[in-house]
Amino acid sequence: MNYFEELTALLNEEQRYDKAQHEALLLKSNLNERRVQGVTWFPISITNSALGRGDYLTITLSKTNNLEEGHRFRFGMPVSLFSNHAPDEDRLDGIIAFVSRDTMRISFRVEELPEWSRRGKLGVDLLFDENSYREMHDALSQAKELRADFRQGRLIRQLIGEELVVQDQVEVAYKHPDLNASQNNAIQHILSSSPLAILHGPPGTGKTTTLIKAVQALLKQENKQLLLVAPSNTAVDVLTERLDAIGISVTRIGNPVKVSDHLQELTLDAKVERHSANREMKNLEKQARAYTDLAQKYKRNFGKSEREQRKALFDEARKLRKEIDRIQDYIVEDILNKVEVITATLVGANHHTIRSRHYETIIIDEAAQALEPACWIPILKANKVILAGDHCQLPPTVKSNSSSKEGLYHTLFEKLVKRYPTEVSLLNVQYRMNAQIQKYPSQALYADQLQAAASVSDWTLLHDVKPILFIDTAGAGFEETQVDGAIYNTEEAYFLKTHLRALLQDLKVAYSDQAFPSIGVIAPYRRQAILLKELLGQDEEIVPFTNSIQINTIDSFQGQEKDIIYISLTRSNAEQHIGFLSDVRRMNVAMTRAKKKLIVIGDSSTIGQHSFYKGFLDYIESIDQYHSVWEWDIQV
């Protein structure tokens, strides 16, 4: 089995598993359960409908209650409009054209909605996203074919190790006064003639800042349009806003997750709305809608002449629609031809508006969190690839694989770091953490190459001299509990609450409300995070500080930072089982969220057999920051 056949087999396995999970959720859950899971909106009301591009009917709908609930609906995903009068029969499938917190636009391939949609009790289910998998499969298939082409397949062969990246690349001098030496060196390598550049950005080292400066330099050097992509919508949103803020013309393909008016203005849809040719298109749409409305006024029980009249009206609407589509194509091309940077998700790189575009250079941010098959979608559009990320932080989300060392967990970023170490630029100055907090992750995962910038190296909380401490619960009887696979530790959660309550009282004396430190409480297990939210939310002394405290799992803290971080390790058992605490990348993320103080609470006898945690305990003892839970009053 060759390289791309292996990837295809892995992707097939993931697709089957993902589809089975999603369909089980839809089939086995009732309407309220689906709504809570974020895969159903109900009830909804239709606020507008119009015949759109390619005879697609586009409707706008809104939630009518449960407005505060989150959801998993995203631009481009398939959905099903249903009537709760007969949810199994009365269904119409479409594609999301826009979605915000409580409003959605859906395109359907029909001229009008079915009769049952007028009877109320309507909802929308999120269907399994076949399109993303189809795009990934197509990219792998195309890469497999192109690989044999002498000219077009060269980059593909280099990336999969069949042909080496030539080492004697032409270097370009670059030095920006606002950047440190490692950042300047990284951009210098990005500007070289090498077809591959890897930007390795550990926590707090200014990876995004370096990328933005690199984009500026590439645009000046090449004077050609760039494609900038990332696996998550959130990362694409951040990059889009940062580029716009420094005056680079950027267009966001797709629908942002962030509900920011300014970010919405940077989308292709919003730019189409503001284009000078849009007025003509709107007038034609108004005429087409008038024809469609007239046609839809005919009742079902009409004769031959009424049927012919109805058909003629729809035909007129279609003719106008073709002219509207022509104008829209012109507007879209005009906008995209003039923009310096296009931003999108990995799958969004094949959106119909940009599918046929080719770029001299593409940049993939968060590449260490990206499924490899998705990376090939933009790579096939480029002559040069820049990957940015950190394979020592969170891996991609893979649902089907049980082993974090195999299959799709093994990203293209990680493979290329090992294959081409000379193409890797490590950012080695971090601007987030006190040097003591940074030291152990640097030793354990970054060959001790990280250093703290002078501005953060010694910073601490006011009146505090201990930026990091470990509180050992060994021997205290803080045993973990497992129920239906969920793991939590009640005593550890109660102790954390007691410790935090005392810390908050000290901080209250030292800080004004405006300068009060931000606090993160992290648990590796979801059930422990839920328990901590319940306990802290019920404590009268902690509640007044709620706005300063965030409690969640490790994955939810990726990309964030807080002045103070608590980590509740949760695991405590005689068998020394630590589960996915053994994925040290996750613990790296947890530890490196802290700026001025890191407090880790856990059972040394449970975690101490693992080399990463043994090393951590040794480090803690070397700086005299080891404490036992018995030093506190644990009768809580």
State the pLDDT at residue 256.
81
Residue 62 CB contacts under 8 Å (≥ 6 apart), including other chains: 44, 45, 47, 102, 103, 104
- The pairs formed by 413-421 with CB atoms below 8 angstroms and a separation of 24 or more are 413/198, 413/367, 413/368, 413/370, 413/387, 413/389, 414/368, 415/372, 416/159, 416/196, 416/198, 416/387, 417/198, 417/200, 417/391, 419/161, 420/165, 420/196, 420/198
Most confident of 47-56, 165-174, 528-537, 627-636: 528-537
Distance CA 524, CA 414 (A): 23
Distance CA 468, CA 330 (A): 59
Tokens of 342: 């296009």
Q: Over the stretch 562-578, which tens digit does the pLDDT of each residue have?
A: 999 999 999 999 999 99
Tokens of 289: 């809608």
Tokens of 479: 């045993």
Distance CA 516, CA 99 (A): 35
Count other Cβ atoms within 10 Å, centred on residue 535: 19
Higher pLDDT, 54 or 602: 602
Contact 530, 556 (CB under 8 A): no
Q: Is the pLDDT of residue 306 over 70?
A: no
Higher pLDDT, 286 or 429: 429
Higher pLDDT, 432 or 329: 432
State the pLDDT at residue 636.
46
Distance CA 99, CA 460 (A): 42
Q: Is the pLDDT of residue 20 over 80?
A: yes
Distance CA 205, CA 540 (A): 38
State the pLDDT at residue 634.
63
State the pLDDT at residue 170.
73
Distance CA 125, CA 25 (A): 11
Q: Got the DSSP string for 391-418?
A: TTS-----SS-S-TTSGGGS-HHHHHHH
- Amino acid, single-letter form, for residue 610: H
At 236, the pLDDT band (50, 70, 90 cuts) reads very high
State the pLDDT at residue 172.
85
Contact 324, 285 (CB under 8 A): yes
At 391, the pLDDT band (50, 70, 90 cuts) reads very high
CA atoms within 13 A on the CB side of 604: 18
Q: Over the stretch 578-624, which tens digit does the pLDDT of each residue have?
A: 998 999 999 999 999 999 999 999 999 999 999 999 999 999 999 99
At 126, the pLDDT band (50, 70, 90 cuts) reads very high
Sheet with 196-200, strands from edge to edge, namely 250-252, 341-345, 226-230, 359-364, 382-389, 196-200, 424-426
Distance CA 13, CA 401 (A): 9
Distance CA 71, CA 322 (A): 35
Q: Over the stretch 130-158, which tens digit does the pLDDT of each residue have?
A: 999 999 999 999 999 999 888 889 999 99
CB-neighbour burial class of residue 5 (10 A; exposed 0-12, middle 13-18, buried 19+)? exposed
Backbone angles phi, psi at 316, to 5 degrees: -60, -40
Residues 55-77 have a mean pLDDT of: 84
Of 8-12, 395-399, 605-609, the poorest mean pLDDT is in 395-399
State the pLDDT at residue 296.
64
Distance CA 28, CA 25 (A): 6
- Average pLDDT of the chain? 90
Burial 266-297 (b: 16+ CB within 10 A, else e): bbbbebbeebeebeebeebbeebeebbeebee
Question: What DSSP designation does 547 have?
Answer: G
Q: Over the stretch 464-507, which tens digit does the pLDDT of each residue have?
A: 999 999 999 999 999 999 998 899 999 999 999 999 999 999 99
Query: How much of the chain exceeds pLDDT 90, in percent?
Result: 70
Q: Is the pLDDT of residue 4 over 90?
A: yes
Distance CA 545, CA 287 (A): 57
Q: Over the stretch 98-113, which tens digit does the pLDDT of each residue have?
A: 888 889 999 998 878 8
Helix, coil or strand: residue 531: helix
